[in-house]
Amino acid sequence: MTFSKSKSSTILAITILSILTIGCAHKYSPAYNGAPNVALGQDRASQIGAPIALSNWWQNLNDETLTHYIEVALRNNHDIAQSMARITEARQVLGSYQASARPSGNLGASASAQRMTENGAMPVARLPGFDRDQLVFQTGFDASWEIDVFNGVKHYLAAQTARIEVSEEEKNAVQIVVAAEVGRAYFELQGAQRELEYEKDYIESLNQTVDLLQSRNRAGDISQRDITEVMARKAAYETKLPAIEARIRAANIALQVIQGIPPSAQILSVKTDEPLLLRFPIGARSELLQRRPDIRIAERRLAVRTNETAVQMVEKYPRFVISARLGWEATEWRAD
């Protein structure tokens, strides 16, 4: 009867412990289901083309010169290089922890020589046939595995993965900003150069008009007043040239600095074919929000904080480790 009561108490204790363990495992973990899904009406979504990737938007313009300048700027940007270094370091940390979370084993072997003293507790000198000089050979295998009962390892790995994704999104954000600044300076330089060409062409046409009017004036067809009006118009356009040239120099220096090139007076080449009007699909409004780096960074940081909170709560509960050891020890080494 005593044995039956003891057995029943043990079963009851195990049952209660299991229920508490399951309850704690469900209670400790903060709820997080990832980024919310922003729905869009079907009537609007059907009108949206396939969105372009923000990380390489310039490739849709098919401008080889612009692409070259952006690639140089991205390659020489120190912030991007630092982001890549942080990503590499975080991935190595994650990989090492993933390896430690799996079952681990250790295989070892050793040999040692020992001599027992004659004045010890055991009178080895008076034991017949006992050799106090001995060789001891040992070999063994150790294995251990921490069972992730409360999903602590799972949440830690999720936090580290989300932290890597934060670094990747920060790198993408820097790339987008750098590419946008290169594009802005590039188009400003290209636009100012085209404007300067148009102004000079128009001034040249006014010079030809003045020559023609002077010929007609000598013939008595028009008065000097007509010539004066055209020359005043030409002088007004000539006053615009220094400002346009200053814009060209400023845009050129900005384009050089963004690329990591020492500023110089040499004007970079931005000669391209005549621009074409292109459809530049940005996708649905909800997709545009989901692709924004700042929003993606905020969402991934929330994932990091949520999983770190779960890990801290798991630290309050016990850990369960399964370990085993298999060994062999002998004073003689025999191959058979």
Residue 3 above 60 pLDDT? no
Instruction: Cite the DSSP H helix spans in the chain.
Output: 2-27, 42-45, 64-76, 78-101, 152-218, 224-238, 241-258, 285-291, 293-314
* Cβ–Cβ under 8 Å, residues 164 and 55: no
Lowest mean pLDDT among 93-102, 125-134, 192-201, 221-230: 125-134
Whole-model pTM: value is: 0.64
Query: In whole angstroms, what is the distance from residue 296 CA to residue 286 CA?
Result: 13
pLDDT higher for 129 or 220?
220
pLDDT for 201: 93
pLDDT for 202: 92
Estimate to the nearest angstrom the gap between the alpha carbon of 222 and the chain centroid. Answer: 72
Over the chain, what is the mean pLDDT? 75
Q: Which tokens sit at 166?
A: 């934060």
pLDDT for 288: 73
Label residue 278 by pLDDT band (50, 70, 90).
Answer: low
Residue 228 above 50 pLDDT? yes
Label residue 199 by pLDDT band (50, 70, 90).
Answer: very high
Condensed to tens digits (0 to 9), the pLDDT of residues 5-39 reads 555 555 555 555 554 555 554 455 565 666 666 55
Residues 6+ apart with CB under 8 A from 234: 203, 206, 207, 210
pLDDT for 246: 92
The average pLDDT across 205-209 equals 90
Lowest mean pLDDT among 27-36, 301-310, 317-326: 27-36
Lowest mean pLDDT among 19-23, 114-118, 169-173, 209-213: 19-23
Residues 6+ apart with CB under 8 A from 21: 149
Residue 129 above 60 pLDDT? no
Highest mean pLDDT among 110-124, 245-259, 272-286, 312-326: 245-259
pLDDT for 131: 61
State whether residue 280 is helix, strand or coil: coil
Residue 264: count of CB within 10 angstroms of its CB: 10
* Cβ–Cβ under 8 Å, residues 51 and 285: no
The average pLDDT across 259-276 equals 71
Highest mean pLDDT among 7-11, 203-207, 262-266: 203-207
Query: In whole angstroms, what is the distance from residue 126 CA to residue 130 CA?
Result: 9
The average pLDDT across 209-230 equals 84
What domains lie within the chain, and their CATH numbers?
69-101+152-317 (1.20.1600.10), 103-149+319-336 (no CATH)
Residue 186 above 50 pLDDT? yes
